[in-house]
């Protein structure tokens, strides 16, 4: 099972747990061994995540909050800029459509 080849090579299947490839011709014992390896990797990943959360979770929470707040602030500024631009365009259009002063009447 260690020589993970591409599935196209010999009609192999794809392991959805660890993203490796399983030979469709392997016996049940080999498939169970592979399943055990995948489970060990998944368990190790969960345990690492738990330890990281315990040691630096609060710091990562603060960093996530800062990033989220910065994004929200940026979105609000973008919205305010767009709204100000629309107001300017509306005001400009209204001014262009209003009557010209008599001192600046177009020549006919």
- In this prediction the pTM is 0.51
User: Tokens 């979770």 sit at which residue?
Assistant: 57
Give the model confidence (pLDDT) of 57-82 as tens digits. Answer: 999 999 999 999 999 999 999 999 99
Q: What was the pLDDT predicted at 108?
A: 64
Closest among 70, 15, 23 to 41, alpha carbons compared: 15
pLDDT (tens digit per residue) in 79-95: 999 999 999 999 999 99
Alpha-carbon distances, residue 83 vs 8, 21, 27, 78, 87 (angstroms)? 55, 53, 66, 9, 6
Q: Residue 43, CB half-sphere, CA atoms under 13 Å: how many? A: 6
What are the extents of the domains in the chain? Answer: 1-34, 53-95
| 96, pLDDT greater than 60 | yes
């Amino acid at each position: 099972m260690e020589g993970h080849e591409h599935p196209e090579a010999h009609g192999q299947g794809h392991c959805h747990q660890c993203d490796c490839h399983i030979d469709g011709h392997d016996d049940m014992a080999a498939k169970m061994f592979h399943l055990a390896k995948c489970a060990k990797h998944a368990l190790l990943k969960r345990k690492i995540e738990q330890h990281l959360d315990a040691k630096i979770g609060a710091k990562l929470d603060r960093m996530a909050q800062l990033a989220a707040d910065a994004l929200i602030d940026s979105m609000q500024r973008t919205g305010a800029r767009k709204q100000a631009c629309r107001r300017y365009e509306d005001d400009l259009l209204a001014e262009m459509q209003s009557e010209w002063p008599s001192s600046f009447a177009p020549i006919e």
